[in-house]
Structures are given as C-alpha cells and as structure tokens.
C-alpha cells in the first residue's frame, strides 16, 4: 500500500505533507528507471508550482534525465504530450480541486496513463536510494511553452462542427485552463464570457470552479448563455450548467455522451464505467437504453483500469472526471466540454434536453478526521452503517469511504427522498465526529 500516493497521485499541504525533499526524491526515483531519458513537466497556477517543479526537475536531472517544462497547462495536456512526443514520463504539478495551500504530483507513463498502484509503490521504494550521475551526464532543463500549441490543435480537431451560435460562460477556477479553454472555444466560433479565468494561483478553486458551480449558474442566467462550463484547478474535471441555470454533474454528462456515442455506433459493447458514487438514476436510465453500467472504485485511474482492460469507450465520475478512450487515457475537462457541445449541435438540442435524466435524491457529506482508517474500522461506525442499510431496505444505498486526497471520510446516501437522505447522512456524520472527538479527548488525557 502506498504511503505518499493516494487515489490521484501524491498530494498534501506544501511545507507539511509535501516539501522540496519529497518532490526531489520523487523525481530522482523516476530517474532510476529511465537512465538518460526524457520527462515533460507542467503545472497549474498555484504559487508553489514552480517550487515543486524545480525540486522534481533537480531530482530527475541529478539522475541524468532531461526535463522539458511546458509551463502552465492542464493535467490532460501532460498526458497527451507524454504519449504524442515520446517522453518516458509526464509529470503534472497540481492538487486538482484542492485549496491553494495544497499541491501534488501526478505521474503519467509513456502511454499517457496514470501510474497504477504497483507502479506508485515502486516509485516510493526508490525514495530510499539516490542516483547521482557524474557532472557530464547530468540532465538538461529546457522550457518549451510551444508544447501548448500541440495540445491546442489536438483539442480543436477533436470535433468537426462549428460552435458558432453558442454563448458559453467559462469558469476556469483561476487554474490551468484559464487561457486555453477560452482560446479553443473562440477558435471554434463560440461567443465566450469569462468568470474566474485569471492565472492568480492564490485564488485557485476559491469559491469558484467545479466545486462551486452555483455562481456560474447565476452568470449563465444573467447573460442569457446557452451553457456554462466549470473546470477545476487542473482542468481534468467538468461540471456544466444548462441554459436554465441548472447544474449538470458528471453523471448526467456521462449519460448524455453515452447516448450520443451509441447513436453514432461508437459505444463499445454498449457498456459505460462509473463508480460506487454513480447515481442509481443514471444506472436505471442507461438500462432503459440497453446500456450496462459497470462500477469501479472511486478514482479515475480505477475507472480507466476497467475501461482499457475491456476496450470500453467512456467512463467517469460524478465529480466530472470523464475519460473518452478514443482520445486520451485520462480525464480531460476541456475535451469533455467540446464533446458535449458537439453533441448539442449534432442533435440540435439544448443542454437541458440532452441531459434529461431523473436522479435519485443523493446527499454527500464529508467529515474531517485525523485517522481515517481507524474510524472506518470502528465497530460503532459499522453498526451505524448497518442500521442505515436496514432503514433503506433496498430503496437506496449508503457508502462510507476514506477520501483519497484529503484527511476526510465521505458519506453518500441515496434514497427515495432528499429529506431521508439528509437525515441518514447527518446521523452517520455525527457518529464519525463523535468517534473523532472521543479519540482526541483520550489523547489529551
């Protein structure tokens, strides 16, 4: 089991969980597997991005690896460039949707795929050793902002229709897509209105982006836009807003794109991959269209694992991580947005029509804790979950899990009414908070 890596790379508060030494060791460990190779690196807008990029680059170069820095680009750009430009690894410095004090490291293989659990464990084992080549073999560092153009062209060419006639509001979360997303959409003919599209890393994800689409919803209605697009800090997520100001989450986007792919004969095996969080309403609606839903563990790399082992077309998460295997092996918010807009144009439907599906009332709560695994293993919590399951009696679901990126336990309840879901989720949150506070009191004594 990985110590540093979670469900989406290595992540933590800079200066505490994640510092120069850890980043250096990560880079140097990779150098031990590709002596004399090439690595492309990119980052989001966080102020600590350059600091960590310098540390990783130093570790790589000390081991004889050449580093090419693409600058501020979405995470998916690194995945694309790694494969397209024949790099040995790609590294994105980002903490995705987390606040500005966090940062992280996502690593892609030469195929543009996120490293699996075993590969991440292998990287961690390399932290123990160091590789320092002699002076004339030290790797070189090159900054190449022109790499963005290759990714821009890839995005622009991913759809064949014009977006003329569409008015689109973009919320880039003051993150990695602040420049590229508006540029691509404008190049395809769309009229673009900007919100939270600065490169101010201190404001990344701050009351904006995919975790806070409410403000965008108001903006869409105010300016009379056809659609709103919310990205997170590294733009691997998309949450949309329809023309009426209603929020369209990842589940609904997956449903719409799955139907579009099926109509074009491009939905392999008529199967879609979701996660344990995917709403039961999506599963029921897909079944009516003779499309099967497979559920993976939470984490887009687990979704990708099932997709590529079975040769499937689409998979993703409620959070807006959506993978389209025809194009990339990882989630790409801008790419997903383009496919959604293309589906709207091709079907001559509004976003509300395209994503019309009835969801089960679902409530998600997060409780901050110090020891996730200890609390999840508690008999008290197990009994509480069992009582909730009995209360739902086959008319809903309960899921309690540890966050893979934050010190939190997440609770998800689905049932026939929002009121019931809210009450049961609050009950479990209270149990977890009580367990946390009792442990703190015990430690204090």
Domain ranges of the chain: 5-146, 163-246, 249-359, 362-444
Question: What pLDDT, on a 0 to 100 scale, did the predictor assign at position 229?
Answer: 98
Nearest to 281 by CA among 362, 210, 365: 362
The DSSP secondary-structure symbol of 86 reads T
Our measurement of the distance from residue 437's CA atom to the centroid of its chain's CA atoms, rounded to an integer in Å, reads 31
Tokens of 124: 């961690």
Q: How far apart are the first and last CA of the chain?
A: 32
CATH number among 1.10.3720.10, 3.30.310.50, 3.40.50.1000, 3.40.980.10, domain 362-444? 3.30.310.50
Tokens of 147: 């790499």
Work out the pLDDT band at 223, boundaries 50, 70, 90: very high
CATH number for region 249-359: 3.40.120.10
Q: Report the pLDDT averaged over residues 416-433.
A: 92
Local structure of 185: helix, strand or coil: helix
6 pLDDT more than 70: no
pLDDT, tens only, 31-57: 999 988 999 999 999 999 999 999 999
Q: Which fold has domain 5-146?
A: Alpha-D-Glucose-1,6-Bisphosphate; Chain A, domain 3 (3.40.120)
pLDDT, tens only, 338-357: 999 999 999 999 999 999 99
| Residue 101 burial (C-beta neighbours within 10 Å; 0-12, 13-18, 19+) | middle
Our measurement of the distance from residue 245's CA atom to the centroid of its chain's CA atoms, rounded to an integer in Å, reads 23
pLDDT, tens only, 361-394: 889 999 999 888 889 999 999 999 999 999 888 7
Question: Where is 268: in which H helix or E strand?
Answer: none
246 pLDDT more than 80: yes
**What are the backbone dihedrals phi and psi of residue 84, each rounded to the nearest 5 degrees, phi first?**
-65, -35
444 pLDDT more than 90: no
- As a whole number of angstroms, the distance between CA 71 and CA 281 comes to 41
Question: What pLDDT, on a 0 to 100 scale, did the predictor assign at position 1?
Answer: 44
Whether the CB-CB separation of 229 and 170 falls below 8 Å is answered with yes
pLDDT, tens only, 102-117: 999 999 999 999 887 7
3-class SS string, the chain:
CCCCEEECEEEEEECCCECHHHHHHHHHHHHCCCCCCEEEEEECCCCCHHHHHHHHHHHHHHCCCEEEEEEECCHHHHHHHHHHCCCCEEEEECCCCCCCCEEEEEEECCCCCECCHHHHHHHHHHHHCCCCCCHHHCCCEEECCCHHHHHHHHHHCCCCCCCCCCEEEEECCCCCCCCHHHHHHHHCCCEEEEECCCCCHHHCCCCCHHHCCHHHHHHHHHHCCCEEEEECCCCCEEEEECCCCCEECHHHHHHHHHHHHHHCCCCHHHEEEEECCCCHHHHHHHHHCCCEEEEECCCHHHHHHHHHHHCCCEEECCCCEEEECCCCCCCCHHHHHHHHHHHHHHHCCCHHHHCCCCCCCEEEEEEECCCHHHHHCCHHHHHHHHHHHHHHCCCCEEEEEECCCCCEEEEEEECCCHHHHHHHHHHHHHHHHHHHHHHHHHHHC
Residues whose CB is less than 8 angstroms from the CB of residue 288 and which lie 6 or more positions away in sequence, other chains included? none
Question: What pLDDT, on a 0 to 100 scale, did the predictor assign at position 57?
Answer: 97
Average pLDDT of the residues of the chain? 93
Among 6-10, 106-110, 201-205, 301-305, the minimum mean pLDDT is found in: 6-10
| Residue 93 burial (C-beta neighbours within 10 Å; 0-12, 13-18, 19+) | buried
Tokens of 383: 């009994």
Tell me, yes or no, if the pTM score tops 0.95: no
Length of the chain: 445
438 is catalytic: no
- As a whole number of angstroms, the distance between CA 329 and CA 228 comes to 25
Question: What pLDDT, on a 0 to 100 scale, did the predictor assign at position 317?
Answer: 95
Q: Report the pLDDT averaged over residues 321-333.
A: 95
Tokens of 265: 């004969």
Q: Which fold has domain 163-246?
A: Alpha-D-Glucose-1,6-Bisphosphate; Chain A, domain 3 (3.40.120)
Spot the catalytic one: 57, 92, 96, 109.
96
Do domains 5-146 and 163-246 share one topology? The answer is: yes
pLDDT, tens only, 150-162: 999 999 999 999 9
Q: Beta-carbon neighbour count of residue 273 at 10 Å? A: 27
**Max avg pLDDT among 63-72, 383-392, 416-425:** 63-72
Q: Report the pLDDT averaged over residues 320-326.
A: 96
Nearest to 107 by CA among 155, 56, 61: 56
Question: What pLDDT, on a 0 to 100 scale, did the predictor assign at position 89?
Answer: 97
Cα-trace Rg, the chain: 22
Question: What pLDDT, on a 0 to 100 scale, did the predictor assign at position 117?
Answer: 79
């Amino acid at each position: 089991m990985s110590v540093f890596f979670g469900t989406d790379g290595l992540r933590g508060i800079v200066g505490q969980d994640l510092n120069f030494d850890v980043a250096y060791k990560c880079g140097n460990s990779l150098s031990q597997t590709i002596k004399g190779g090439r690595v492309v690196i990119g980052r989001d807008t966080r102020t600590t991005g350059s600091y960590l990029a310098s540390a990783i680059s130093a570790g790589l170069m000390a081991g004889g690896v050449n580093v090419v820095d693409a600058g501020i680009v979405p995470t998916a750009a690194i995945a694309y460039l790694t494969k397209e430009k024949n790099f040995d690894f790609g590294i994105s410095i980002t903490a995705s949707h987390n606040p500005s004090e966090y940062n992280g490291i996502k690593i892609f293989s030469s195929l543009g795929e996120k490293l699996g659990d075993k590969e991440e464990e292998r990287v961690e084992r390399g932290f123990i050793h160091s590789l320092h080549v002699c002076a004339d073999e030290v790797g070189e560092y090159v900054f190449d902002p022109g790499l963005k153009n290759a990714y821009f062209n890839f995005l622009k060419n991913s759809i064949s229709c014009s977006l003329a006639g569409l008015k689109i509001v973009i919320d880039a979360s003051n993150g990695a897509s602040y420049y590229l997303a508006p540029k691509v959409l404008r190049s395809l003919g769309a009229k673009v209105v900007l919100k939270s599209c600065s490169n101010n890393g201190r404001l990344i994800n701050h009351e904006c982006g995919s975790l806070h689409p409410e403000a965008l919803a108001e903006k869409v209605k105010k300016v009379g836009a056809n659609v709103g697009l919310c990205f997170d800090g590294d733009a691997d997520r998309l949450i949309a807003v329809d023309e009426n100001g209603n929020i369209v989450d990842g589940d609904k986007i997956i449903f719409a794109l799955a139907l579009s792919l099926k109509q074009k004969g491009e939905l392999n095996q008529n199967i879609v991959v979701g996660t344990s969080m995917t709403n039961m309403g999506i599963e029921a609606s897909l079944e009516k269209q003779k499309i099967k839903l497979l559920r993976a563990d939470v984490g887009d790399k687990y979704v990708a694992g099932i997709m590529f082992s079975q040769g499937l077309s689409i998979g993703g998460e409620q959070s807006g991580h959506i993978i389209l295997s025809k194009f990339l092996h990882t989630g790409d918010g801008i790419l997903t947005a383009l496919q959604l807009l293309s589906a709207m144009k091709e079907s001559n439907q509004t976003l509300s029509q395209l994503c019309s599906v009835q969801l089960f009332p679902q409530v998600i709560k997060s409780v901050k804790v110090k020891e996730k695994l200890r609390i999840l293993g508690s008999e008290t919590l197990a009994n509480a979950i069992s009582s909730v399951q009995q209360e739902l009696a086959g008319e809903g679901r309960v899921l309690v899990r540890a966050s893979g990126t934050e010190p939190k336990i997440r609770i998800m309840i689905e049932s026939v009414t929002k009121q019931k879901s809210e009450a049961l989720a609050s009950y479990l949150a209270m149990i977890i908070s009580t367990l946390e506070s009792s442990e703190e009191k015990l430690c204090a004594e």
